[in-house]
Amino acid sequence: MSVLDSKVPEGDIREKWDNHRFNMKLVNPANRRKYNVIVVGTGLAGGSAAATMAEQGYNVKSFCIQDSPRRAHSIAAQGGINAAKNYPNDGDSIWRLFYDTVKGGDYRSREANVYRLAQVSNNIIDQCVAQGVPFAREYGGLLDNRSFGGAQVSRTFYARGQTGQQLLLGAYSAMSRQINKGTIEMFNRREMLELVMVDGRARGIIVRNLVTGEVEKHSADAVLLCTGGYGNVFYLSTNAMNSNVTAAWRCHKQGAYFANPCYTQIHPTCIPVSGGYQSKLTLMSESLRNDGRVWVPKEKGDKRHPNDIPASERDYYLERIYPSFGNLVPRDVASRNAKLMADAGKGVGETGVAVYLDFKSSIERIGEDAVRAKYGNLFQMYEKITDENPYKQPMRIYPAVHYTMGGLWVDYNLQSSIPGLFVLGEANFSDHGANRLGASALMQGLSDGYFVAPYTVANYIGSNASELGSMDTGHEEFTKASRAATERLDELIAKDGKRTVDDFHRELGHIMWDKCGMARNSEGLTQAISEIQTLRSDFEKDVKVSGSKDYKNAELEKAGRVSDFLELGELMCRDALERAESCGGHFREESQTDENEAKRDDENFCHVSAWENKGDVKDAVLHKEELKFENVKLTQRSYK
Amino acid sequence: MGSGQGKNLKLTLKVWRQESAADSGKFESYDLDNVSTDMSFLEMMDVLNEKLVLEGNNPVEFDHDCREGICGMCSMVINGNAHGPERATTTCQLHMRRFKDGDTITIEPFRAKAFPVVKDLVVDRGAFDRVVQAGGYISINTGNAQDANNIPISKVDADEAFNSATCIGCGACVAACPNASASLFTAAKISQFALLPQGQPERVERALNMVGQMDKEGFGGCTNIGACSRACPKEISLENIARMNSEYLCSTVKTKS
């Protein structure tokens, strides 16, 4: 077991990034056009990185899986984006945003990265406004803020319930400008299947053209992986249907370490599961907890209509247990409490696996129109899916898989353990520790893409200039990687078993949700590992993939992704088993306080677990990065 | 779920099948039982596809991703309506409770010269990207921005710009228009920036270039029918087209003088 070097610069945390920026190598503007940068993914991280690097003068090749870069799943983020502007004058500061994020992450993130994130948060808002992003405003014409979980200040900028859409369209427009100038070459409907390594460096990728089926080779001097999270390993999640781990997993197999795979965020406010045919879960933004009150009936099995249950017979349990933060406790705390209520038989709705989120008091206080102005699109979406009117009766909500804090390990420069491979946004692991606070994902994606990677990638290119430069895709490593990708496609397409890809995916999802979901224990995880191994070998024998690889074939695409999820799932369970403590979203039942809160074990687990692939998942080797907390004191989190 | 009135439907689906852009394509009929009224339309398509795969047939290709009505990936013309019969709703948010037992449902791709069919129900909407690339942005490099609150914008303008900016780029406006015009899409983007102070410096070129590109892509002209706005899942209003026309006219005059 080796110890990983995070390459965090020396000095006071407030000066690290500024000093580092000064010390990093630059590339002469005239030389930049000689270098090629590949950006995989066009969400907030990928879109902003591609646009910014192209503005600086690099040749950028950008890849996305959808038919247009505007469709990446960042678009679905609803609630908002944090920044330490302190416009409401309620005591916010860079330091407070840094502190809240480290605490919210249950002290499992890297301090220096989080501080930098808080530092550049304000630049992000400036940049987006300049691009024409229509954030919500007050009547005086200035920007409006709202509150989010895990903070006692209002620091969240928003655009109705469509903040992600507006920010993504901002990055997309910046990209479009560069595509028009010819500095970004855009490749739509491409899926990355392999990372190409030459002399120990990332030098290109192999992609499948999803329309023609052609396997293509693309070379570069640096590869930026911005491919999002892996929540779809659970089958049901709030992720888009095509979100997957394949690009990251292929890099992992080439030597990139996978860090903290077990850190999964289960979001407390989603529309509950209704039937076996269900394909995805829909989030109801955390911002709703500003005006909605969470409750269950005090009595077990109370089947009355919610409107018929008087206030005295309701348990507003978050307000009761956490009087300081109330309904705005962090996501992991809210989710776990909902599960405790359902497990105690107090769940509501037909299935009993839901709790209420009630807007009645807000509607009485500020009126239905004011509630509609804030959350109209969310209420409408809720009604479409459930056929119930949330203005007239409380929403039913339940936690669902939403975000993955784990991801490929990166150092302070966002470089993975493979030189030349940078990982941005949700695909990396670094900023959110064991629990991400609301409105921080958009902040991190844009921070990495607009303000961090453009500097650190330039530094990599500038420092290794003699070894970089033109790379011919005729190189044997490209041929090898392309052959490996093609062989796997042939292998999958030849499978003529009896079960569909979705059928395997659903079964994997059940195992993960039951045994590696909101609560985990040693026995369940051990079982899950063996169940996933069996499922994986069944998949190889019994899956049926129809059609050919030589044209658009969604079944083949899904088969490749599920095949990688089947390996990742096992690694997640191994990681969860090894981490015999509770922290943030990782709740080990064996490690809890008397009040059922997550109990950390700082003596043994104050580290990042980064896994190195050695072929089979069971042989993965653990490397540790010790986490040092020099600025925020390690304490038991309390939101009471 | 829902009001607890979930039941099962028996349906006949008439689905457009087309191998590739070069192929002529035709309708195929499929019977589907036990379709829960709580399913979304795309979940119904998933059930059909699993059945087709197990029967050894090729599943129906269709575009979809977020299934929350925001990415703009899903398309389809359902019983003659882009995104189906319900107002302000994408196909992925349409639920089977809007259909009746025994219904025959006709499912086709968006049809427009500028949106060639890729396969089955999948079309190529690359023309929209190129319209945006022609000027749907504000030219500001990363790192040049002033403090966000140095640009006060009246709430009325900000809200109106937001309403235009909610366009998801799905292409239903084009599919619904008898002329296959992309006016609503293009107008929404031109409007968003015309309403904001940040959009002023490039206002003239933006209108000229985006409208020019729209015409170049082979979209038809606008004849004020309004089918686009009725089909729009985000209810983008026709006012945007009026604003685009005025922007375009003013820009033509300004560049001539």
Please give the ipTM for the structure prediction.
0.97
Catalytic residue among A201, A331, A436, A520: A331
Interface check for A165 against chain B (CB to CB < 8 A): the answer is: yes
List of E strands, A330-432: 355-358, 395-404, 407-408, 421-423
CB A109 within 8 A of CB A625: no
Q: Do B69 and A279 touch (CB under 8 A)?
A: no
Q: Which one is predicted more confidently, A13 or A1?
A: A13
Q: Is the pLDDT of residue B3 over 80?
A: no
What's the length of chain B? 257
CA distance A239 to chain B (A): 7
- 3-class state of residue A416 by DSSP: coil
Q: Is the pLDDT of residue A1 over 70?
A: no
Q: Positive or negative CA dihedral for A627, A630, A633, A637?
A: negative
Interface check for A135 against chain B (CB to CB < 8 A): the answer is: yes
pLDDT band at A148 (very low <50, low <70, confident <90, very high): confident
pTM over 0.90: yes
pLDDT of residue B2: 41
Residues 6 or more apart in contact with residue A81 via CB below 8 angstroms: A124, A125, A128, A156, A157, A158, A163, A167, A439, A442, A443, A446
CB A25 within 8 A of CB A458: yes
Of the candidates A19, A94, A100, the one whose C-alpha atom is nearest the C-alpha of residue A632 is A100
A630 CB neighbour count, 10 Å cutoff: 9
Out of A142, A160, A553, the one facing B152 most closely (by C-beta) is A142
Residues 6 or more apart in contact with residue A403 via CB below 8 angstroms: A229, A231, A264, A265, A267, A426, A436, A441
Cβ burial, residue B34 (10 Å; 0-12/13-18/19+)? exposed
Q: Which residue has the tokens 């449902």?
A: B105
Q: Is the pLDDT of residue B257 over 60?
A: no
Average of per-residue pLDDT across A430-453: 97
Summarised one tens digit per residue, pLDDT across range A15-51 is: 999 999 999 999 999 999 999 999 999 999 999 999 9
Coarse DSSP helix, strand, coil percentages of chain A, rounded to the nearest 5 percent? 40, 20, 40
Nearest CA in chain A to B234: A377
Average pLDDT, chain A: 96
Average of per-residue pLDDT across A44-65: 98
User: Could you give the strand order of the β-sheet that contains B104-108, starting from the edge strand earlier in sequence?
Assistant: B26-36, B8-17, B104-108, B77-78, B81-82
CB A304 within 8 A of CB B65: no
B97 CB neighbour count, 10 Å cutoff: 18
B169 CB neighbour count, 10 Å cutoff: 24
The question of whether A331 is a catalytic residue gets the answer yes
- 3-class state of residue A61 by DSSP: strand
Beta bridge partners of A498: none
Interface check for A214 against chain B (CB to CB < 8 A): the answer is: no
pLDDT of residue A149: 84
A488: left (phi over 0), alpha (psi -120 to 50) or beta: alpha
Determine the Cα–Cα distance for residues A50 and A62; give it in Å rounded to an integer: 7
CA distance A315 to chain B (A): 23
Average of per-residue pLDDT across A367-379: 90
Nearest CA in chain B to A283: B68
Q: Is the pLDDT of residue A426 over 60?
A: yes
pLDDT of residue A286: 85
Lowest mean pLDDT segment, chosen from A120-129, A186-195, B1-10: B1-10
Q: Do B165 and A166 touch (CB under 8 A)?
A: yes
Chain A residues near residue B61 by CB distance under 8 angstroms: 552-554
CB A496 within 8 A of CB A544: yes
Nearest CA in chain B to A170: B137
Summarised one tens digit per residue, pLDDT across range A219-275 is: 999 999 999 999 999 999 999 999 999 999 999 999 999 999 999 999 999 999 988
A445 CB neighbour count, 10 Å cutoff: 33
